[in-house]
Amino acid sequence: MGLFGGQFSSVVEWKEYSDDIIFWKFPSSEIKKGSRLIIRPGQDAIFMYNGRIEGIFREEGNFDISSDIIPFLSTLKSFTFGFNTPLRAEVLFINTKEFTVKWGTKNAINLPVQGLPGGMPIRAFGTFSFKVSDEQVLIDKIAGIKSEFNVEDIKERVMSMLDMLMMKWISKEGKDMFNLQANAYDIGKGIASDLDMEMVKIGIAITSFTIQSVSYPEEVAKMQQKAAAQSMIGNVNTYTQMQMADALTQPNTAAGSMAGNMAGMQMGMAMGQMMGQMMNGNMQNNAQQNQAAPSSNGTVPKFCPNCGTKRPAEDEGWTCSCGAVNKGKFCTNCGAKKPAGAPLYRCDKCGWEPEDPKNPPRFCPECGDIFDENDRQ
């Protein structure tokens, strides 16, 4: 990784930057005159002398060590390069990004459950996130004995505490041991808090801990499925669908036979509904046809065969001087205008029309309504 192992260095940089490395120590501790420091995005550069921090540089860029770095060091700020006098200092690069790590229980965790002497074994999976929170603590605790610190080192520390913390927070927040996923957020939040209290001792902050899934032994999983199915009995359709699906996979069992019978019943009911809809549609069509069709003797019925409403009388119109019978304001044969002063009458209540529309009786013989201006056509 170093550029000039065992020699003076002209460029101090973390070139082989990796997403899974938390910090990396530059391999040479002797920096010659004219050397430059390169800080890339997501990096901090820390100068150390005799195990103590001389300066922390967070701004990315390309810097001249003589003019841009040494004046800002603490005890080395008056250092002057000589021809054969290098700056003897260590440079540590810190990865400042937030890391996200997948975790999963290698072995089952036995949760204490009443009635189960050995406890209930579960497995869980999820992710946690962390970042460097205190560079001074990280250097004091880790960098003094390591030249590199990576994500696997953090994961190993977290997993060593996880079983104990899982049992602790499941006992506190797990309202239902058989449905821990429902309280996964609160359980994860509690675990993150305890992990952070431990990891801050080495300068690491745990920013989140999530439980994405909890798996139970096969026997417990089957019990959960049955319990869920029973809770659906209130919804007959959903429960029946589940039974039918189960019957398809187990056609030769008694349960499968029962589910098949239930499926047959559902099919029968569905067919009955379809037949009822078809019959209703036919009745409506027949009624519509009967409403418009004449009777067997060739005359149009006076009452509707569907609803019993009396059929309104047709307007026979007026006879023009040319002999044509019309219903509009003008004759369709000769174009003559409908004669004025000879209004036609028809009852506005029941639709009855007198034989001579020009000379109606005083009262309608069908409904008793008086003939007046409202009955004029």
Q: What is the pLDDT of residues 261-284, one digit of tens each?
A: 544 444 444 434 444 454 455 555
CB atoms within 10 A of CB 91: 25
CA nearest to 191, candidates 128, 139, 245? 128
Instruction: Flag whether pLDDT at 63 surpasses 90.
Output: yes
Pairing of strands 9-12, 30-39: parallel
Give exposure, 193-208, as e/b (b: 16+ Cβ within 10 Å): ebbbeebeebbbebee
CB atoms within 10 A of CB 43: 20
pTM: 0.55
* Residue 86 near residue 7 (C-beta atoms within 8 A): no
Q: What is the mean pLDDT of the chain?
A: 77
Q: How do residues 104-136 score in pLDDT, each as one tens digit?
A: 988 888 887 777 777 788 889 999 999 999 999
317, pLDDT greater than 90: no
Domain boundaries defined on the chain: 9-95, 99-216, 221-264, 308-377
The pLDDT score that the predictor gives to residue 308 is: 64
Write out the E strands in the chain: 9-12, 21-25, 30-39, 43-49, 52-57, 61-64, 87-88, 90-95, 99-104, 109-113, 116-132, 148-150, 204-215, 318-319, 325-326
CB-count burial class (<10 Å; 0-12, 13-18, 19+) for 38: middle
pLDDT of residue 268: 41
Contact between residue 23 and residue 148 where contact means Cβ atoms under 8 Å apart? yes
With respect to CATH, is domain 99-216 assigned 3.40.50.10320?
A: no
Q: Is the pLDDT of residue 157 over 90?
A: yes
The distance of Cα 35 from the centroid of its chain, to the nearest Å, equals 54
Q: Which residue has the higher pLDDT, 50 or 328?
A: 50
The confidence score (pLDDT) of residue 294 equals: 55
CB 316 within 8 A of CB 353: yes
Q: Tens digits of per-residue pLDDT, 324-358?
A: 887 777 888 888 877 766 677 888 888 888 888 77
Residues 194, 190: Cα–Cα separation, whole Å? 6
d(CA 106, CA 162): 11
Distance, CA of 263 to CA of 244 (rounded, Å): 6
Predicted local distance difference test score (pLDDT) of residue 39: 95
CA 246 to chain centre: 28
